[in-house]
Structure 1
Amino acid sequence: MSGSSQINMSFGYPSLRPQPEGTKTLNVPKGPYGAPDVMLHGFNRTHAAQGLVSSHPLEFSEKNWLSHQQKMDTVMLKNTQGIHAPMRLHMEQHFAQKMQRLPCLPSSNILLDTLTGRDEMIGFEDILNDPSLAETVGEPHILMEKRLGIL
């Protein structure tokens, strides 16, 4: 078999290797001596944030792990059961995101967590979120009127 006629065996899966976000240039206004004049212009956080790059190659991979895993699961589901299975799953997730309780009642989003597989993971928000400190506590009528745009 020649080198040009090799079969691509990716099956549409996303790459497993972490892809860096890329480098960005930092444009800071220069002073009269070629250095940024921080006393005159201040610390411009928008320019500083644009120039930041990942400090480690795995940082981008870890930041996007969940979305990457969902893409791989979708492609695997499509390859094994056909296009209808991931379409139905995405439709169910879309409707589960739209379901809401009244603004004064906290919601666990258990259906969405079950559909995405999030119910099997323990994360930062599962341990350190205190439901009594949630911002949903309040007068139900006022919160509902605010959601509907009446107030």
Structure 2
Amino acid sequence: MEPSLRIVPSSAPKSASIQDTANSFGLHDTLRYGPRSLATEAHTTSTIKDRLENWEATRDNLKLTTLRNIYGLHAPVRLLMERKLVGHNPHMPALPVTNVHLDVLMGRDETLECADFMMPSSELAQPLDIHADMEKKLKM
């Protein structure tokens, strides 16, 4: 956990180098890899994609940093320990699992997603063979 008060995920540093396409002299090998331009290599990553991928982590980091600043270091440590304990869930593998406790600790208890109310038909069609699932679990 890096103490940061960012609301929006930071953009990844854009860098361009010729290490992947360099020959023995340290120059770009145009005959093998074709012409290159540093401008196109620097803009290959999408900023929207990066923001969406890091949105949950940044929001969680902001929440933990705020807890640390208000209540002290014990609050985020306790919350992270509770998440780890609740996340470890040895259960019957044949039954579908929903971890309501982890949703409450992560702050997702008041949100609805498609997976919450729309069950795919493939899960309902699977036979519940508890003995085979328990054997798989013991082999792991």
Provide the C-alpha distance between the structure 1 equivalents of 2:139 and 2:131, rounded to a whole number of angstroms. Answer: 12
Residue 71 of structure 1: SS of its match in structure 2? Answer: helix
The one of 74, 77, 97 equivalent to 1:87 is 77
The alignment status of 1:145 with 2:135, answered yes or no, reads yes
* 1:134 aligned onto 2:123: yes
Is the CA contact 1:24–1:53 (under 8 Å) kept in the aligned structure 2? no
**Could you say which structure has the greater relative contact order, defined with CA pairs below 8 angstroms and 6 or more residues apart?**
2
The two structures have a TM-score, normalised by structure 2, of 0.67
Matches within 5 A, 1:31-70: 34=31, 53-55=44-46, 57-70=47-60
The percentage of counterpart residues that share the same residue type is 27
8 A Cα contact 2:4 2:62, kept in partner: yes
Structure 2 residues not aligned, in runs of 5+: 22-29, 34-41
Q: Which residue of 2 aligns with 1:6?
A: none
Q: 1:104, 1:143 within 8 Å by CA — same for their partners in 2?
A: yes
Q: Which residue of 1 aligns with 2:27?
A: none
Q: 1:89 to 1:23 in 2, by over 3 A?
A: same
1:55-98 per-residue CA deviation (whole Å, 9 max, x = no partner) reads 3x232112110111000000000110111111111111001110
Count of aligned pairs between the two proteins: 120
Q: Which runs of 5+ in 1 are unaligned?
A: 1-11, 37-50
Query: C-alpha root-mean-square deviation of aligned residues, in Å?
Result: 3.2
Q: 1:52 to 1:138 in 2, by over 3 A?
A: farther
Distance across 1 between alignment mates of 2:57 and 2:119: 23
- Please give the TM-score of this superposition, normalised by the length of structure 1: 0.63
Determine the C-alpha separation between the residues in 2 that align with 1:13 and 1:68. Answer: 9
State the distance in 2 between where 1:145 and 1:24 align. Answer: 50
